[in-house]
Amino acid sequence: MTQSVTGPAIALVVCTRNRGAQLPVTLASHAAMRPSVPWELVLVDNGSTDSTPALLRDFAARASFSVTLVHEPRPGLASARNAGVRAARAPLLAFTDDDCYPDHDLLDRWVECFADPAIGYAAGRILLHDPEDFPITIRTDLEPQTLRPGAFVEPGFLQGANMAFRRELLRELGGFDPALGPGGRFNFEDLDMSSRASSAGAAGGYFPGPTVRHHHRRRHPAQIADLRHSYARGRGAYFASLLLRGDGSRSLFGHLRRSLAWKSRTEVVLEVVSAVHYAAYRLARRAERPLRG
């Protein structure tokens, strides 16, 4: 498909690693989208060792729209997303995961959300694709919600399976933190990015229009427990990051009081331990920087 002379209006960035068995279905769902605006698909291979690279090359060669392939050998979702940001040309960047299927109008709905120039970051609706999968890593709210600049971003408000940012905002903030996210030390790269965007003066929002369906394939109790524990560790690190930055302490403590009603004792312990680990990691990094001068 020929793009306009001004380039794509929006890019969809999808990062993948060793998902060769499931990738054909995901790629087919991207090919089925029908945006009314010029767009680009940025596919980032995060050092796969299976059939993924060949599948991506074949898909790009056959696609009737703009596809950019990126290879990022450094492990970690944050590093892969940063590589996608660098490769994208569009002013709006939408992100989804390699086990999510976008609605055909996903990108048009994102463009509508960002028609408000104050919106710098946004979360979209995430539905469960397979009803036999456990109802986790989804957000099904039908009511939109906006966050003022500087607002505290609650855990779960924005999820990497369906989120979008203005490209210039991501670049101004230095992109996603490579220490965070799957493959990194702490699993909250999406939450950290939205929180830093809010602190930088951007308004945000949750919008039910842009929709994806998450095919995460988690059904067994052990899988769900592992995921919840990973999220708990991510939350603890996030809380420590806010305190280290001096952001939103009052809102943070209010959230902590409210959340005790639904958290298990194990999750609370994991949050505390992870907060300590994150604080120690960041303080150590600060101490190292002058020596590297």
pLDDT of 216 over the 70 cut: yes
Q: Pick the range with the lowest mean pLDDT from 56-60, 104-108, 183-187, 259-263.
A: 259-263
The pLDDT, as a whole number, for residue 248 is: 65
Task: Using pLDDT thresholds of 50, 70 and 90, give the confidence band for residue 261.
Answer: confident
- Report the pLDDT averaged over residues 171-175: 97
How far apart CA 81 and CA 95 sit, in angstroms, is 8
pLDDT of 289 over the 90 cut: no
Q: Is 265 left (phi over 0), alpha (psi -120 to 50) or beta?
A: alpha
pLDDT of 1 over the 60 cut: no
CB 123 within 8 A of CB 231: no
Torsion of the alpha carbons at 83, 162, 52 and 46, rounded to the nearest 10:
30
